[in-house]
Amino acid sequence: MQPVINLLVQLQELIIARAQHEAGQPGAQLDQLDASIASLKKEIPADVRQRFERQLQKNSLAIVPTENGVCTACGMTLPVALVHQVHAAEQIYGCPSCARLLFYRSGSARNTRKPPRRSDPPKVGIERFSSETLMIPALKGTDRESVLAELCQKLQDEGFVDNAQQLQEAALQREAIVSTAIEGGVAFPHVRCVEGGALTLALGIAPKGIKFDPNGKANTRVVFFMVIPTAASAFYLKLLSGLAQVFQKPENRDKLLEADTAEKLWKALVKATRTVIQ
C-alpha cells in the first residue's frame, strides 16, 4: 500500500501547488497543473481516491504525517498500535479524531522555533512569523540551489530548524512540482509539514538576480522562504496571497532592494506589510 500512499501525498502536493499558484498569481494559467492532477488521479484505486476526495471536501489537507505518535493536523495522540500500523503501511489508516488519512514520514527537518514567553509583548503582522535575524540583504548564491541552501542554513543557524540540508532537499522537491517564482522578480519557496514549531519566514535579496524558475525568462531578486507546519497549511495561503499582493507593486519591492543591512530590510518588510498581514 505504500506506493498508493506515495501517490496520495504527491496528488495532495499538486493540489496545494495549484492553490498556491493561484493565490500568488490570480488569473494564472493552470492548465498544466490541472492535467497533472487529472493524470495522477487515474493511477489511484477508485475507493482510495474517493476516500481522499471526501476528506478534501472537509479539510484543506486530506492526508497528513504522524509526528511522535501524534496526528499533525488535529494534535491527537494516536494509540500506539495505530502508530505501528501507519508505519507498516499495509493499508491506509485514518485519525480517530479528525478522520484525515495518515502516513509515516522519516528523515525530515524539524521546526525548532521557540514559543513566545508569557512576559513577551504580543506580536502583530509579519512579526508573528519572522524576525530581523532571518533577513539576508545580499544573498551570495548565484542559482536556485545555492540560494535555497543559504536561506535554509540561516534558519538553522538562528535556531529555527534543526537540519538545513534536509530542508533544502524538501524545498527543491517542491520546486520540481512547479516553480514558486512569480512576476516581478519574487519567489516564494517553502516546505510544508515541518513539525515542531510555528510558521516561519526568512527573506533574502539576490542583488543581481538569479534564474529561480528554470523555464522562466525573468530573474528573481526577492526570495521569501517559508517553513510551514501541517496545522498552518491553510493559513499559509492567506499569508502568501498577502505577500504577493504587497510585492507585486514595484515601489514595495524597491524598498526591499534598497536595504543594505538586515535591520533596514526588516523595517522595510514590516512597513510594507503592516496593513495587509494582520
Checking if the pLDDT of 275 tops 80, the result is: yes
Cell of 135: 533577513
Neighbouring-strand partners of residue 181: 187
pLDDT at 234: 81
For 242-262, what is each residue's pLDDT tens digit? 999 999 999 999 999 999 999
pTM of the model: 0.86
Based on the number of CB atoms within 10 Å of its own CB, is 106 exposed (0-12), middle (13-18) or buried (19 or more)? exposed
pLDDT at 79: 95
Based on the number of CB atoms within 10 Å of its own CB, is 210 exposed (0-12), middle (13-18) or buried (19 or more)? buried
How much is the mean pLDDT over the chain? 90
Pick 122 or 211 by higher pLDDT: 211
> 83: pLDDT confidence band, cut at 50, 70 and 90?
very high
SS3 124: coil
Checking if the pLDDT of 134 tops 70, the result is: yes
> 116: pLDDT confidence band, cut at 50, 70 and 90?
low
> 99: pLDDT confidence band, cut at 50, 70 and 90?
very high
DSSP 8-state code for residue 136: E
What percent of the chain is modeled with pLDDT above 90?
Answer: 65
pLDDT at 193: 85
State the average pLDDT over residues 172-197: 90
Checking if the pLDDT of 28 tops 70, the result is: no
Q: How far apart are CA 164 and CA 157, in angstroms?
A: 9
Q: 233-248 burial, b for 16+ CB within 10 Å, e for fewer?
A: beebbebbbbbbbbbb
Checking if the pLDDT of 100 tops 90, the result is: yes
pLDDT at 24: 72
State the average pLDDT over residues 50-72: 92
SS3 44: coil
Domains, in order of start, for the chain: 2-103 (1.10.287.1490), 125-273 (3.40.930.10)
Cell of 115: 514559543
Q: Measure CA of the first residue to CA of the last residue in the chain; give whole Å.
A: 42
pLDDT at 62: 94
* Contact between 161 and 233 (Cβ < 8 Å): no
Up-side HSE of residue 51: CA atoms within 13 Å toward CB? 17
Cell of 97: 479524531
pLDDT at 119: 64
pLDDT at 84: 95
Up-side HSE of residue 183: CA atoms within 13 Å toward CB? 12
State the average pLDDT over residues 29-38: 84
State the average pLDDT over residues 217-237: 89
Checking if the pLDDT of 174 tops 80, the result is: yes
What percent of the chain is modeled with pLDDT above 70?
Answer: 96
pLDDT at 192: 87
State the average pLDDT over residues 162-188: 92
